[in-house]
Structure 1
Amino acid sequence: MDFIQIPVGAIQENTYILAKEDLTCVVVDPGNEGDKLINIIKEKQLKPAAILLTHTHYDHIGAVDVIRDEYNIPVYVHKNEQEWLSNPEYNASIKFNGQHVVIRDADHLLDGDQELNIGGFQIQLFETPGHSPGSVSYYFADSGLVCVGDALFHGSIGRTDLYMGSHEQLLNSIHTKLLTLPEETEVLPGHGPTTTISGEMESNPFLNGF
């Protein structure tokens, strides 16, 4: 499986397109610039099967309806943040974007760690709250990839000063769900460069002494 990392929007949120050999793909966190994302999908001749959301802050959801309507595909989100999609206060678009980002309800609500089969992708879902109450990570074991949203970054962790954030909860999520993955697992974060589990275990200053 291949992935494309596409920074979009004013704060360069990473949208990911993960594609199998048969060109079926899933779109993770389409945050902005929907036309740009569609052009890439068309250029690569990909066939989107679903939109997967790691959480619902405005910079991760801005292009959801554009992609959903173009390809008539379902949206997956954790149940704790379903209403955040249409609430500009919860999704922080009023505070940081100066605009009201309002997205229609998701098609599928996630709840609890579980195995997902979406478009032929075998995905392990982990609840990784802390940055937000419905933050999740999508682990593609066959390819050694995990999409973590804003839980974990190269040399850093997600902020926890936003609505319903919890520093203690985030650290617990990282240590009990993410750092237990194989050390060679490639981490695809919501901002910045990719990293690995081993790299963060060895050098991330926010994880020392937990």
Structure 2
Amino acid sequence: MDWIQLPLGALQTNCYILSNQAKECIVFDPGAEGEKLVQWLNKNDLKPLAILLTHAHFDHIGAVEQVRQAFNIPVYLHKEEEDWLVNPALNGSARFQLGEVSGQPADYLLKDEASLEIGSFSFQLFHTPGHSPGSVSYFFEEGNVLFAGDTLFMGSIGRTDLPGGNHEQLLKSIHDHLLTLPEEVIVLPGHGPATMIGDEMESNPFLNGF
């Protein structure tokens, strides 16, 4: 298994591609530049199986429709944000000057805590609200990586000043779900560089006391 980080769009949102030896892959958070992303996947002979969304803020979903239609694959999203893909007011794109984002509903709605298997890929789902009500972190144990969206960053945490955000809830999500993982787990955030659970436990100023 292998993963690659592709920062996309004006906000440089990290899209991640997780692939196996058969060249099958999972696409996480295709946030923008859909044509570029589709071309990259085709150039690398990858066969997407699904789109997994950590949450449905506009900068994480801007290329969903292009990728979904190009490869005829399903989209997974937490049930708390069921309407966000179709509603610019909910996904935040109506608030910013980067163009409104809307598309079709997700094909599958995720529950709170469960496992998810897609082809040869198996994930543990953590419902990690705080940055947004339906934020989900996907733990891929085989690769020792956590796709954390905008929940946890290197030296920081997700913003909570957008509608549905809650600072205390975010800290609880991080404490209850993420900091219980092995310290060597690699955290793949929605923006910026990768980090590790142990490093954030030791040095993240927002997590003092945990």
Same fold (TM over 0.5): yes
Work out the CA distance in 1 between the residues paired with 2:192 and 2:98: 23
Output the amino acid matched with 2:25: C
Q: Write out aligned runs for 1:162-177 (5 A).
A: 162-177=162-177
Work out the CA distance in 1 between the residues paired with 2:164 and 2:127: 15
The Cα offsets for residues 183-205 of structure 1, whole Å up to 9 and x where unpaired, read as 10000000000000011001000
Give the length in aligned residue pairs.
210
SS of equivalent residue, structure 1 residue 10 = coil
Superposition deviation, residue 97 in structure 1: 3.4
Alignment pair present for 1:207 and 2:207: yes
Q: Give the equivalent residue in structure 2 for 1:100.
A: 100
Q: Give the equivalent residue in structure 2 for 1:147.
A: 147
Work out the CA distance in 2 between the residues paired with 1:143 and 1:67: 24
Work out the CA distance in 1 between the residues paired with 2:180 and 2:45: 35
Alignment pair present for 1:13 and 2:18: no
Q: Write out aligned runs for 1:1-210 (5 A).
A: 1-210=1-210
Matched-pair contact (CA < 8 Å) for 1:9–1:33: yes
Output the amino acid matched with 2:97: N
Work out the CA distance in 2 between the residues paired with 1:30 and 1:126: 20
Runs (4+) off by over 4 Å: none
Matched-pair contact (CA < 8 Å) for 1:62–1:101: yes
Work out the CA distance in 1 between the residues paired with 2:191 and 2:181: 20
Superposition deviation, residue 95 in structure 1: 1.0
SS of equivalent residue, structure 2 residue 26 = strand
Superposition deviation, residue 98 in structure 1: 4.4
The Cα offsets for residues 95-128 of structure 1, whole Å up to 9 and x where unpaired, read as 1234221121000000121111012201101100
Superposition deviation, residue 87 in structure 1: 1.2
Output the amino acid matched with 1:125: L
Superposition deviation, residue 162 in structure 1: 0.3
Where structure 2 has 5 or more consecutive residues not aligned to the other structure, the ranges are: none
Work out the CA distance in 1 between the residues paired with 2:25 and 2:95: 33
Work out the CA distance in 2 between the residues paired with 1:155 and 1:103: 33
Work out the CA distance in 1 between the residues paired with 2:201 and 2:31: 28
Which segment is superposed worse, 184-193 or 111-120? 111-120
The Cα offsets for residues 65-108 of structure 1, whole Å up to 9 and x where unpaired, read as 00000000000000010101111111110112342211210000
> Which TM-score applies when normalising by structure 2?
0.98
Work out the CA distance in 1 between the residues paired with 2:97 and 2:39: 25
SS of equivalent residue, structure 2 residue 84 = helix
Which segment is superposed worse, 114-123 or 152-161? 114-123
Superposition deviation, residue 146 in structure 1: 0.5
Matched-pair contact (CA < 8 Å) for 1:61–1:103: no
The Cα offsets for residues 115-165 of structure 1, whole Å up to 9 and x where unpaired, read as 110122011011000000000001000110010000000000000000110
Superposition deviation, residue 209 in structure 1: 2.3
Work out the CA distance in 1 between the residues paired with 2:98 and 2:49: 32
Where structure 1 has 5 or more consecutive residues not aligned to the other structure, the ranges are: none
> Which TM-score applies when normalising by structure 1?
0.98
Output the amino acid matched with 1:73: I
The Cα offsets for residues 26-59 of structure 1, whole Å up to 9 and x where unpaired, read as 0000000011111211121111000000000000
Output the amino acid matched with 2:156: S
Work out the CA distance in 1 between the residues paired with 2:97 and 2:154: 25
